[in-house]
Structure 1
């Protein structure tokens, strides 16, 4: 009796999953550009942006930092922006990295996180390797939209123990 009930339940679950998959397939073909016979018009599905992360990942921490930092300096007319940028630096960067950034800013009169005087419109973080207790990421900054957008890259090193950013340098 117990085995037969389990079989019925698994059959019901499989049938429900199959019906759901078929419904999604039908909806996808309708919204992904299939022609509507009566009107000859097309319906295109909109992409939904998603984001996820893991607070235990050094690379996610770099991504979180750059995303929040760029958001903060982008909206510099907000009275809280300067304090927020300082707090982000204090939280995500080691003391040594904070000193290195401050020295760059005093010397170059530019932002020591972005290595620029302006703010990028896009950013991307890519894991490039790890060793000796550190993870390395490559931050790609895009400075405008379009085919000829200028791109710069920054090498970021993070401690695998503390997850703090320990070094930031322009990538060659």
Structure 2
């Protein structure tokens, strides 16, 4: 048998994307991993996943991000929490125009921590292009990030604003 070097294996990081339904999780993961935006809403049933190789600045190496886009609807709750296991990072997503998605963030954090323990966590406020119709104030969002003790990114998937930054931060912190 030939000798092999452990450095020859690709490094992978499982990143789960969680939050209420219709906040833009699938659009965000598709935009980031595939560079596409459709604008069509399609409910995720269970989980979907995509892969993206990235150069992480803190590690100085390429890492394969396995991005798991989980269903946000209550009816899939018991199904999706099983997919959290083995995650090294989580991206919590809420919508600027959906108050419930914002208020439910601590619930999502508890669910993830119950399954994964303490992993890298990033908070993404999506749909900032709709800020005139915001369901929460800027200071409320900043207070939530402080309360959850995680870094906040404000994004607009449609306009491709700050889409990759949250995923790269998740990878760099892991």
- The TM-score range, normalised by the shorter chain, is under 0.3
Rg (Cα) greater in structure: 1
TM-score by length of 2: 0.25
Q: Which has the higher contact order (CA 8 A, sep 6+)?
A: 2
